[in-house]
Amino acid sequence: MSSNTVRHDYKVTKENRQKQMGHRSLLLWFTGLSGSGKSTLANLVELELHKKGIATYSLDGDNIRQGINKDLSFAPEDRTENIRRIAEISNLMVDAGVVTLAAFVSPYIADRENIKHIVGAPNFIEIYVNTSLEECERRDVKGLYRKARAGEIKNMTGISAPYEAPINPDIEIKTDHQDINTSVQTILEVIIQKLK
């Protein structure tokens, strides 16, 4: 950080914004392998929250990598920087009073701990979309696993790069054995209580 910058304190606070919105703001962080169902779940949870009048915004891995993080590769150091930038964006969104839903593979425990540090532990809900590699490969929505198995993609999480599963997530969804509607309701039951 530059020694020539000074943080500016504004008159309208996060608490003021939350009061105006009528709910707390949180970061719902969906982590899991590619194809696990993170984005699908985040979209459906956001839809249900929106129906309840809760201010939301979704951040998705592919969308972010086509914009603010298009200069980053999938090498480990760039993955870490990708997640750090998203955490900083999420922190701004939470400060704005918005429930932010972030769907990112985010394969490293240390990076997810850093997110929690940036946004503050009380504002961070880690949702582990626990789907077996076999099921993710069976779905292979984007054709990434096929390409990774053929050697066309390097640093593919679960194939040629590690995924460090959360040790104690706030919510764990096992999509191999649970239908999508039940998964959404499981998440909402926890989130709605925390928004009060």
**Annotated binding residue 32:** yes
Tell me the chain's radius of gyration from C-alpha atoms. Answer: 17
Three-state DSSP class for residue 12: coil
**Annotated binding residue 37:** yes
**Annotated binding residue 33:** yes
Q: Helices marked H in 52-179 — which ranges? A: 61-65, 76-95, 109-119, 133-139, 144-149
**Annotated binding residue 72:** no
Q: What is the dihedral of CA 90, 94, 96, 99, to 10 degrees?
A: 100
Is residue 132 annotated as part of the catalytic site, yes or no? Answer: no
**Annotated binding residue 34:** yes
**Annotated binding residue 97:** no
**Annotated binding residue 3:** no
Q: Helices marked H in the chain — which ranges? A: 14-21, 38-51, 61-65, 76-95, 109-119, 133-139, 144-149, 180-195
Q: Which of 3, 106, 160, 183 is catalytic?
A: 106
Per the annotation, binding residues are 32-39
Catalytic residues: 106
Per the annotation, binding residues for ATP are 32-39
